[in-house]
Amino acid sequence: MRLAGKVALVTGAQQGIGAAIGRALAGEGADVALTWLDDERGARAVANYVRQAGRRAHLIKADVAKLADIEAMVAETVGALGVPDILVNNAGVYPRVKFLEMRESDWDYVLDINLKAGCFAAVAVAKVLIAAGKGGSIINLSSQAMRGAVRGVHYSASKGGVVSMTRAMALELAPHNIRVNAIAPGTTDTAQPRYGNTDAELVEMAKATIPLGGKLLAPDQIARSAVFLASDEADAITGQVLHVNGGSYMA
């Protein structure tokens, strides 16, 4: 198992990509702390999977838009499972808004969760890793939408910011043997891309833009990339963006 003996903290793990990442990390031997906000049942299902895989799971209700919740979730992870060797900043939102109708509250809501939360979660985890004299792996979730998305100026800005933030974090944390990378998924079969769209629109978009297979990506495909970046197989990789999109965007 590639992650045997490791402790991971995954934000936004109640569904979709976050849930898949939590399951995949456990499948490779990690104990996993899983944060959730408004779907306790979904989070418990992921935790049950982790335990059935023979690993420890710990559930934490957290609003990652709040700094106090971020600091508390890291402290709770340390107390329940130990210092997290792996942080996956997965929590994210994408409420579609036309640019000319965007309000300050729309912007702040998306940037607080998609960008600010990842920054301060990484700060908190890096501090406990450094205090423990340990290296680690931080994985931030960006998106193919960083290149631009209709009705998603705030979302594209947040995900582009994740890329720049990842590179800067990687430089600062390299002396402490803490690697920082990002995954930029293409359109993935989760609830998020359906908000504000119809299923027919999604199917046509997939056929037109995804060369490999002509279908939406599965959360498990993103999760396998996270396992790789968290493992020692990626011990020389930091400051990078791994695009997982079926060829719809070639960086």
pLDDT tens by residue, 212-246: 777 788 999 999 999 999 999 999 999 999 999 87
Per the domain annotation, does 234 fall within a domain?
Answer: yes
pLDDT at residue 185, rounded to an integer: 94
pLDDT at residue 204, rounded to an integer: 66
Residues 18-62 have pLDDT tens digits of 999 999 999 999 999 999 999 999 999 999 999 999 999 999 999
Least confident of 35-44, 63-72, 148-157, 209-218: 209-218
Per the domain annotation, does 66 fall within a domain?
Answer: yes
Q: Which residue has the higher pLDDT, 200 or 38?
A: 38
Q: Which residue has the higher pLDDT, 114 or 251?
A: 114
Per the domain annotation, does 249 fall within a domain?
Answer: no
pLDDT beyond 50 at 89: yes
pLDDT at residue 199, rounded to an integer: 55
Asked if 22 contacts 58 with a C-beta cutoff of 8 angstroms, the reply is no
Per the domain annotation, does 57 fall within a domain?
Answer: yes
pLDDT at residue 180, rounded to an integer: 99
Number of domains in the chain: 1
Nearest by Cα to 179 from 236, 116, 233, 127:
236
Per the domain annotation, does 52 fall within a domain?
Answer: yes
Q: Mean per-residue pLDDT for 82-86?
A: 98
Mean pLDDT, the chain, whole residue set:
93
The CATH number of the domain holding residue 112 is 3.40.50.720
Q: Which residue has the higher pLDDT, 206 or 70?
A: 70
pLDDT at residue 207, rounded to an integer: 54
Q: Which residue has the higher pLDDT, 131 or 202?
A: 131
pTM: 0.94
pLDDT beyond 60 at 135: yes
Per the domain annotation, does 175 fall within a domain?
Answer: yes
Active site residue ranges: 155
Per the domain annotation, does 2 fall within a domain?
Answer: no
- Which residues form the domain of 84? 7-244
